Amino acid sequence: MSAAGSSRTADELDPRPVLRHETVHTGRVFDLVRDDVDLGAAGTVTREYLDHPGAVAVVALDDADRVLLLRQYRHPVRAFLWEVPAGLLDVPGEDAQTAAARELAEEADRTAARWDVLVDFATTPGASNEALRVFLARGLASVPEDERHVRSGEEADMVERWVPLDEAVALVLDGSLHNPSAVVGILAAAASRAGGWASLRPVGAPWPYRRAAAG
């Protein structure tokens, strides 16, 4: 059933035919591509966007309901942002939760005993096909010092801070936090907690938008 005829409000994958596809620029992480898209009665349009491998992020919540935030420099916005651990899905075929666990260990020196899917979103659907899945990680423990990842680049000087979840929500709403994974993840965690965590999904829950982004 089409979106117009459906009684359920939900996004719907329904690709329009691509008449021509070309890579405008090949980048280190993502490419700039151009598609001629057949919209049927609306005609053919040309759209340029970033072809992105997708990413995962982790809302790590400790036993005191504090969320782990990391301060990292982001050059495109010329700012130090407080973020949740996150990383690219740049290993072909890698399981998303495996990637999330790796990022938590590498960026925050933590492991988690329990993993759930918290929320999925498209970061910039008008300009990129990046799909991002945010996991909730609980039952946290430290990675042994002799097994810790050696961080470099912008990650070398990251600062960590544990913030009560309610305080983190307030920081989002008053405009103090801007990283999209942190904003979406924090608000989703607060909403899910208010509902007794009933909205959480298993780590293997369907994620069709990742396939779309990879294709």
Segments in 46-179 forming alpha helices (H): 96-108, 165-173
What the block records as the tokens of 94 is 């890698």
Task: Specify whether 100 is located in the same domain as 184.
Answer: yes
By the 8 A CB rule, do 86 and 103 touch?
A: yes
- Is pLDDT at 212 greater than 60 in this prediction? no
Instruction: Give the pTM.
Output: 0.91
- Is pLDDT at 214 greater than 50 in this prediction? no
Please list the active-site residues.
155
- Is pLDDT at 54 greater than 90 in this prediction? yes
| 153: DSSP letter | G
Distance between CA atoms of 62 and 3, rounded to whole angstroms? Answer: 40
Q: How many CB atoms lie within 10 A of CB 149?
A: 14
Task: Specify whether 37 is located in the same domain as 94.
Answer: no
Task: Specify whether 140 is located in the same domain as 200.
Answer: yes
Distance between CA atoms of 135 and 202, rounded to whole angstroms? Answer: 10
Query: How sure is the predictor about 213, in pLDDT bands with cuts at 50, 70 and 90?
Result: very low
Q: Which domain holds residue 115?
A: 55-214
CATH code of residue 73 = 3.90.79.10
Task: Specify whether 20 is located in the same domain as 71.
Answer: no
pLDDT at 162: 98
Task: Specify whether 172 is located in the same domain as 89.
Answer: yes
- Is pLDDT at 157 greater than 90 in this prediction? no
Task: Specify whether 189 is located in the same domain as 89.
Answer: yes
Task: Specify whether 30 is located in the same domain as 84.
Answer: no
Task: Specify whether 31 is located in the same domain as 128.
Answer: no
Locus of tokens 């036993």: 63
Task: Specify whether 71 is located in the same domain as 31.
Answer: no
Q: How many domains does the chain have?
A: 2
Task: Specify whether 164 is located in the same domain as 179.
Answer: yes
